Structure 1
Amino acid sequence: MSRSVALQPQPSAEAFAPFGRFITRPAAYGQRAFYSDQMPVEGLAPVLHTNFNRPSALPATVAKLERHPHAAQAFIPLDVERYIVTVCPSLADGSPDLEKVLSFAVPGTQGVIYARGVWHAGASVLDRDGSFAVLMWRGRPDDDEFQDIPPLTLAGKDA
């Protein structure tokens, strides 16, 4: 049986901090916003790829989570209306804490950086096809962990 998780509006930067950071444009012309402090890892090389996703309809189902224990992972929307960010912390044994799953609808004007080791669902766009640039440091064979989970149904008020 599927457990329902409410798709929430995007959290504040402070509320999302245990899971990573949002990528936003600077507030003023001529400024730069830097996000590289979470990214580089000694011995790993940067890998940049793009993806193309069909839209998910709400309610959506999540049946698998992933994490990358050695490197953060950044998703930068190239052509996205809105997308779903689903995260959860780890239990003491390292498995995902499914009682604390959070899911958010994020506007396509913001990116996200998942911190090292954060359990998250794969990229899922809403409303229309979408594309992201994905930046991650790679080089360790054990940096992709996937966990099948009992299905979670993501639903929101704006569905």
Structure 2
Amino acid sequence: MAPAESKTLTARPLTREAFAPFGDVLDIGGDPPKPMNGDRALRYHALAEAQVSGSDARVIVSIAVSKPVSGLVEIAMVERHPLGSQVFMPLDDGGLLVVVCPDEGGRPGRPEAFIAIWGQGVNYRANVWHGVLAPIERQQSYLIVDRDGPGVNLEEHVFEAPWFVRVS
């Protein structure tokens, strides 16, 4: 079944300016790096700030391996994490479909879609509606920095009718 035209999104390039309402773009194209380790490495410092709230909350680092998407991608649901931010930084070469929605009275509004290129990751701010991991065309691994601890830190929303994004 072909998607309704009003429910089809066009993904645009991921830029710091376009993504600013939802979080941070992690890449090395911003401020100049700082030398470290006796000038053997360059540090791209403070690309994002992890947010956590709640009693006994902590920042954790994880790795996820995700199945790829291609062609016309169905966006049936989005999620958000009210108690903390969430970083996804690719560990492999490849693109990532990034879907976010503005909040409209506690529900996700019209989705926006971005294509992250090699070397870009994202930091979703706390309480930002976003899609699930969607590497483009091949399986990829991601470094995740997010919150762990007590409290309900996951809300999911299933759209009445799915949205579609063409990625290739």
Q: Please indicate the TM-score interval, normalised by the length of the shorter structure.
A: 0.7 to 0.9
Deviation at 1:53, TM superposition (A): 1.4
Which one is further off, 73-82 or 28-37?
28-37
Deviation at 1:36, TM superposition (A): 5.1
Q: Which runs of 5+ in 2 are unaligned?
A: 36-42
In the superposition, the TM-score normalised over structure 1's length comes to: 0.87
CA contact (8 A) 1:80 1:131 kept: no
Q: Distance in 1 between matches of 2:84 and 2:133?
A: 17
Are 1:6 and 2:17 counterparts?
Answer: no
SS at match of 1:126: coil
Cα RMSD for the two superposed structures: 1.8
CA 1:27 to 1:49, structure 2 compared with 1: closer, same or farther past 3 Å? Answer: same
Q: Which runs of 5+ in 1 are unaligned?
A: none
Deviation at 1:138, TM superposition (A): 1.9
The aligned runs of 1:51-66 (5 Å cut-off) are 51-66=64-79
Aligned counterpart, 1:71: 84
Task: Give the partner amino acid of 1:66.
Answer: E
Aligned counterpart, 2:124: 114
Q: Distance in 2 between matches of 1:18 and 1:9?
A: 15
Deviation at 1:97, TM superposition (A): 0.8
CA contact (8 A) 1:80 1:129 kept: no
Aligned counterpart, 1:37: 49
In the superposition, the TM-score normalised over structure 2's length comes to: 0.83
Find the structure with the greater CA-based Rg. 2
4+ aligned runs moved over 4 Å, structure 1: none
